């Protein structure tokens, strides 16, 4: 049981490049979400999904796209990378949306030059 797996662990991009951060979970969780963590700040929600085919925006969605074609996978796409998107990105999942503890991946450390 791998839990929540994020790839890659590290990535350096140039401004304007696009890329996809991968997130997969093997716990059959319906709810999945993406957060970013910046120094001195708490995690902020980017996008979330309550099930396959359903996604919605969080607090800071601009510059990011998501899709949920399967229960297991929830990729996050950076459309045109900007230095302000330099951050650590975490994917999380849980059985329920509100009353179950969330399980987090180990994060992707992304630097935009």
Residue 53, SS3 per DSSP: coil
In 1-101 the beta strands, taken as DSSP E runs, fall at 4-7, 10-13, 19-25, 31-37, 43-51, 54-57, 64-66, 76-78, 87-94
Give the residue from 90, 96, 89 showing the smallest Cα distance to 31: 96
Out of 19, 27, 43, 82, point to the residue binding other proteins (CB under 8 A): 43
Site string for other proteins, 53-92 (x = CB under 8 A): ---x-xx------------------------------x-x
Which C-beta is closer to other proteins: that of 37 or that of 67? 37
Q: Which residues are near other proteins by CB under 8 A?
A: 4, 35, 40-45, 48, 50, 56, 58-59, 90, 92, 97-107
């Amino acid at each position: 049981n791998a839990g929540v797996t994020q790839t890659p662990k590290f990535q350096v991009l140039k401004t304007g490049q696009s890329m996809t951060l991968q997130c997969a979970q093997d716990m059959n969780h319906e709810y999945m979400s993406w957060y970013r963590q910046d120094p001195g700040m708490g995690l902020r929600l980017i996008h979330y999904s309550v099930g396959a085919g359903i996604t919605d925006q969080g607090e800071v969605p601009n510059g990011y796209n998501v899709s949920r074609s399967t229960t297991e996978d929830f990729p996050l796409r950076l459309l045109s990378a900007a230095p302000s998107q330099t951050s650590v990105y975490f994917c999380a999942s849980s059985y329920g949306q509100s009353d179950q503890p969330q399980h987090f991946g180990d994060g992707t450390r992304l630097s935009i030059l």
